[in-house]
Chains A and B, each alone.
Chain A
Amino acid sequence: MTLGSQAETQAAGAGRSLLPLAVLTRCAQLAAQLVLTFLGLTAVTFVIGRVIPIDPVIAIVGDRASQSVYEKVRMELGLDRPLYEQYLTYLGKILEGDFGTSVLTSQPVLQDIFRFFPATLELATIATIIGVLLGVPMGVAAAVYQGRWIDHAIRLIGLVGYSVPVFWLGLIGLLVLYAQLDLVAGPGRLDIFLEDIVEPVTGLILIDAAIAREWEVWENAFDHVLLPSGILGYYSLAYIARMTRSFMLEQLRQEYIVTARVKGMSEARIIWVHAFGNILVPLITVIALSYAFLLEGSVLTETVFAWPGLGLYITNSLFNADMNAVLGGTLVVATCFIALNLFSDMLYKVFDPRTR
């Protein structure tokens, strides 16, 4: 054995013993980050809930309740206690898995979230699929044909997606595609006579209907989700296409591309393997962020399409100072962001050997 190989063996041995420690350290860091993020989030949301000029008691007792009723409900909500005490009580309950009851729906917040989040998840996932499937090739095409009509057309599509208000596009979509042409179904997740046929398993109607083999329900649900997810998908597409174009343009200007061309490599291989391969890491971040934003729930889309999603739930709750619901919803959104961040971190390792 040479000295060198002996050193390598020692290093490898040290590496093996160090590896679990590194993993543990990483896990501990991650856990600390998570705890801090959640603490920060709950604290900020809690304070926001207390500084908005809406009295949560009024949301429950109404405008004309007598002062005695008002005081009774205020005490029931614990609002007579100091803010830090209210916050600590809330945290304690969360740790026990009790997110409290929503005053608006009279249901436990967790139960509400299990009902509203799948509606948003369904919409956001389909929208993201549309955004990625169309946005990425469009962005690549715009970069490859930079300055030509394809590029201009794609940029124009992106510009419209960026600048047209989503509620306006939603209403026009409904007017033309639903009211005039009958190509899609109207507002809501299902036609009224198909509701309650499929037992909720995942809360995602398309999946639940497929599990139950209720294809008529599935088709109807698809008819309903098509327009709102298409419109959200358009916004997602606009963002993804624009970012893909810009990432690709940067890569196509690099020297290794020129070298590849000089070496006679096919244009398709240069674009899709070399240039596109190199933009995958930032592109994943863009897609993950776009997906996370959609998972927050698009309030305006949900309002126009009477879609019982998380965005509408959180907004309604905030306007009524229903803080249990707002905090519960915010934690779900935060969890989505953190999970998608982690997921994109993991994908980095798959697509970028340097990060391994």
Chain B
Amino acid sequence: MLASNNKNNEFHFARRPPPGQREDKMKRLLHALGLAAATALVASPLLARTPDNALVMAKNIDDIISLDPAQVFEFTGGEVIANIYDRITMYEPEDLTTLVGGVAESWAFSEDGKTITLTLRPGLSFHSGNPVTAEDVAWSLQRVVKLDQAPSFILTQFGWTPDNVDELVKANDDGTVQVTITEDFSPNLVLNALSAGVGSVVDKKTAMSHEKDGDLGHDWLKTNSAGSGAYQLRSWKANESVVLEANPSYRHGEPKMKRVVMRHVPEPAPQRLLLEKGDVDMARDLTADQIAGIQGKEGIVVEAYPAGLLQYVATNDRHEILGNPKVAEALRYLIDYDGMADTFLKGTWKVHQAFWPSGMWASLDDKPYKLDVAKAKTLLAEAGYPDGFEVTLDAFNTSPYQEMAQSVQDTMGRAGIKVTILPAEKKAVYTKHRARQHELILSGWSPDYADPHSNADAFASNPDNSDEAKLTGVLAWRNGWEMPDITAETAKARTELDLETRKNMYLDLQRKVQARGPFNIMFQQVNQVAKRDNVDGFVAGPLFDQTYYRNVTK
């Protein structure tokens, strides 16, 4: 919580000079009274009303539940910590396609590929002024495993457990860390996993000074920060704002924006008004309609960033009718992919039909399916359902998911399949999906780290299809899809050392899941950000935690 003496703080915004920038209210009132019709109201001129040294964004931030990098697994939280914590390896905003060193300057693999020696970048320091040491790096990884929060599987898949992680991840000396994995994994995959949020390097001294009951500083780090990134957390007020403050000693130089403010504006319409008025620099959650309405307006530009989030309609493979391969194939021809993308989705989602998003290494851009009712009818007849059947479709109760569900309902109806939409709150849909109680379900998935195994592990692997296995984090299990051959191929692809061979293996896996899987992958999200035209340097990558503010200028 900030105190009143903050007004003297060098980081505090200069107060807005009201007389110069805001028009006299009385004059406006008189002006308004002089006009009879609403159409005669003249829009106020677009004024830059945010401070020059601050980036102010309107965004719905109610998904943040914690800012501890060992726990963060939500979109907004991921974005915030990406700017607070430097990671062991990173994708930098200057080149989002190349994995480079973050806190680690270089790395070397042992011959068997199971031991990695990370050499740290010299001279780095945390926001507290403490130097970044090998002990901090090792401890950061250890605490992710020991705290065992939602994203911990990204590291525990390497064979690390709370009992063995101290032995397998340790500081050799001040400048090097030795990391040993017990499972077979491609080195590329391991390095990519270290670039995820769980690879964030936390200031051990600062965090441990706030430790309570052996929680490794977890409780404190939920609402505070101890990193070495471009920004530090000044405050997170739930339902209000997140405020970040520039790190003057950041290794790439102090960011131009001394502050970054995310203001919680849950509704898109007020976001648009705030942007048009100049009270924010960016509106992050505008709908397709609003983007269309705002495009071309003076002083505002819209930028599109392909995101990694995929949207699919999945079938429950254990369902008597839906488990029939002919029926599953017919459903692929009963979705109007282009129709939706060209109408109500208008640039916010693009057609994509493979499990690894386009624009990333080893992605498959084939789009073999389009709406073809006649073909679907033939397939349904071959399956023994010439007159269709009745089925339910669980879907999020918000836009544009309800519109997607309605489109699917319409096109499937053309082949006699009577779809009943069951709209529900997002978490209720997830709960049902994890319990395998759905028939059709419309849901989404985005990668956790920049290696195709991240999604292959969810879409193309199901080592045990029994109810008792409870592989609830695995999409193939959730949809009851048993495919030992594909599961084995996924396991093999993750260990392949040759990059080209590995790439081909993932392309092949994507084709197989496309043809045989219970997933009708339809779209990949495109983040459309509306911003004032004086704002440059904002970068958003395909992963949810690859949004960077440090190059932003105004």
Interface residues of chain A, those whose CB is within 8 Å of chain B, are 52-55, 58-70, 72, 102-107, 112, 115-116, 171, 174-176, 178-183, 186-188, 191-200, 212, 216, 303-306, 308, 312-313, 316, 319-321
Contact = CB atoms under 8 A, between A and B. Distances in A.
A66 to B, nearest CB: 5
Contact of B23 (A171, A179, A182): A182
A196 B234 CA distance: 11
A58 B38 CA distance: 47
A58 B44 contact: no
The 5 closest A-B pairs by CB, nearest first: A105-B238, A193-B13, A196-B2, A106-B222, A199-B4
Given A63-B430, A181-B29, A183-B28, A191 B148 contact: no
A312 B239 contact: yes
Given A69-B152, A182-B23, A186-B273, A304 B267 contact: yes
A306 B267 CA distance: 8
B274 interface: yes
Interface in B226-282: 235, 237-241, 261, 263-267, 269-270, 273-274, 276-277, 279
A25 B74 CA distance: 55
Contact of B473 (A67, A200, A313): A67
Given A64-B458, A186-B270, A58 B150 contact: no
B274 A193 contact: no
B434 A58 contact: yes
B499 interface: no
Contact of A197 (B4, B29, B65, B73): B4
Contacts of B74: 62
Contacts of B324: none
B50 A54 contact: no
A315 to B, nearest CB: 10
Contacts of A316: 62, 239
Contact of A103 (B65, B152, B219): B65
Given A106-B66, A186-B273, A186-B279, 11 more contacts: A60-B150, A61-B73, A65-B472, A67-B472, A68-B148, A69-B153, A105-B65, A175-B273, A187-B273, A306-B263, A320-B427
A321 to B, nearest CB: 7
Contact of A308 (B2, B41, B239, B445): B239
Contacts of B54: 192-193
Interface of B: 1-4, 6-7, 12-16, 22-23, 25, 28-29, 31-32, 38, 41-44, 50-51, 54, 56, 62, 65-66, 73-74, 148-150, 152-153, 219, 222-223, 235, 237-241, 261, 263-267, 269-270, 273-274, 276-277, 279, 424-425, 427-428, 430-432, 434, 445, 448, 458, 470-473
A183 B29 contact: yes
A69 B1 CA distance: 32
A186 B427 contact: no
8 contacts: A53-B424, A54-B427, A59-B427, A70-B472, A188-B263, A191-B279, A197-B12, A306-B270
Contact of B32 (A106, A181, A195, A306): A181
B77 to A, nearest CB: 10
B262 to A, nearest CB: 10
A187 B38 contact: no
Nearest to A196: B2
Nearest to A212: B4
A197 B6 contact: yes
Nearest to A217: B15
A186 B42 CA distance: 18
Nearest to B276: A179
Contacts of B425: 54, 319
Contacts of B223: 106-107
Nearest to B472: A67
Contacts of A175: 273
Contacts of B276: 179
A116 B427 contact: no
Given A106-B66, A312-B239, A193 B15 contact: yes
A58 B148 contact: no
Given A105-B238, A319-B425, A183 B25 contact: yes
A65 B431 contact: no
A216 B16 CA distance: 10
Contacts of A199: 3-4
Nearest to A318: B425
Contacts of B62: 104, 316
A188 B241 CA distance: 10
Most buried by A among B7, B65, B458: B65
A60 to B, nearest CB: 7
A214 to B, nearest CB: 9
A83 B333 CA distance: 47
Contacts of A65: 73, 150, 153, 472-473
Contact of A187 (B43, B237, B270): B270
Contact of A62 (B1, B73, B265): B73
A186 to B, nearest CB: 5
Contact of A216 (B15, B23, B56, B424): B15
